[in-house]
Amino acid sequence: MRKIQITFNITFVTIILFFLLNFVLGIVWEIRTNLKFKNFKAYDDIVLEALNLSEKDGLKLYLETFINRKFDYEQFTEHAESNGYNNKFVNVTPGLGRKTISPKTCNQNIYLYGGSTTFGYNVTDQQTIASYIGELLIENGYKICVKNFGRGSYFSTQENILFQKHILNQKINTDDIIIFIDGVNENGNRNSRNTGFLFEVMKAVNQDYWDMYKYTFPMFFDSLAINQFIHRLKAKFHLKKKKNNKKKFFKIKKK
């Protein structure tokens, strides 16, 4: 009986310490990340000059692009960028798309669909392809609004679904212009960024109530800070290894 009690105590303490470790790691990780970005130089001087931004504004752009901007779930397309319309450089919602340079009143619209290039990663709202088109139209006296519905990692299948959704929701008028910009993401028949997770969630919600834990616990366990930290370290290691292998491949040997 004593052995059982000792085993139970050890198991209980181990579980408590494990969850306490995850809690502490989560807090420390967040504090460390905030401290890292306090004096972080997001872009080098050449890029900052091209963007016409100070180092401080460059960091602001980076944070709004990659750290403070999140993805929402969207029906059929799986994901859409969202961080509101009150930011300095990156303003986007699933319903409005990314902010562009456009006239206050418009007789016609141009809808742009595409991936991260169309969205405008690493550039401000005013430096996207959509905004440059809008600026040219204003300079030439056209009252045409440009709508930027480019989204990170999107390919033609998702873009076409989004286009169809806009038609169904009566966002698009008969004389509006539709432009698709595709390139490096293009495949047309691959998984999106959320496909794996949504597949697992669907398996869970279709189980009997008393069996759901079998499918949800692995997802919960994987979400713990210590596991995410390990995933992060593995990703960094593989990226470093890939870069080193690339350097070796392109290294020119002297005769």
- Examine residue 219 and state whether it is found in any structural domain, yes or no: no
- Examine residue 89 and state whether it is found in any structural domain, yes or no: yes
Same domain assignment for residues 113 and 90: yes
Same domain assignment for residues 131 and 92: yes
Parts of the chain with a pLDDT under 50:
255
- Examine residue 174 and state whether it is found in any structural domain, yes or no: yes
Torsion angles phi and psi, residue 105, rounded to 5: -120, 140
- Examine residue 232 and state whether it is found in any structural domain, yes or no: no
Q: Which pLDDT value is given to residue 250? A: 53
Please calculate the CA angle 233-123-196 and round it to the nearest 5 degrees. Answer: 40
Tell me the residue range of the domain where 63 lies: 42-68
- Examine residue 246 and state whether it is found in any structural domain, yes or no: no
Same domain assignment for residues 171 and 154: yes
Same domain assignment for residues 28 and 129: no
In the chain, what is the greatest distance between 2 CA atoms, to the nearest angstrom? 88
Q: d(Cα 117, Cα 152) in Å, to the nearest integer? A: 8
Q: d(Cα 24, Cα 16) in Å, to the nearest integer? A: 12
Contact 159, 92 (CB under 8 A): no
Token match 């989004």: residue?
162
Task: Give me the number of domains the chain comprises.
Answer: 3
- Examine residue 16 and state whether it is found in any structural domain, yes or no: yes
Q: Specify which residues 70 forms β-bridges with.
A: 82
Same domain assignment for residues 83 and 31: no
Distances from the Cα of 235 to the Cαs of 63, 118, 129, 182, 241, in angstroms? 21, 27, 32, 27, 10
Q: What is the pTM of this model?
A: 0.80
- Examine residue 81 and state whether it is found in any structural domain, yes or no: yes
Q: d(Cα 37, Cα 31) in Å, to the nearest integer? A: 10
Same domain assignment for residues 3 and 31: yes
- Examine residue 5 and state whether it is found in any structural domain, yes or no: yes
**What confidence tens digit (pLDDT) does each residue in 136-150 have?**
999 999 999 999 999
HEC readout, the chain: CHHHHHHHHHHHHHHHHHHHHHHHHHHHHHHHHHHHCCCCCCCCHHHHHHHCCCHHHHHHHHHHHHHCCEEECCCCCCCEEECECCCCCCCEECCCEECCCCCCCCCEEEEEEECHHHHCCCCCHHHCHHHHHHHHHHHCCCCEEEEEEECCCCCHHHHHHHHHHHHHCCCCCCCCEEEEECCCCCCCCCCCCCHHHHHHHHHHHCCCHHHCHHHHHHHHHHHCHHHHHHHHHHHHHHHHHHHHHHHHHHCCCCC
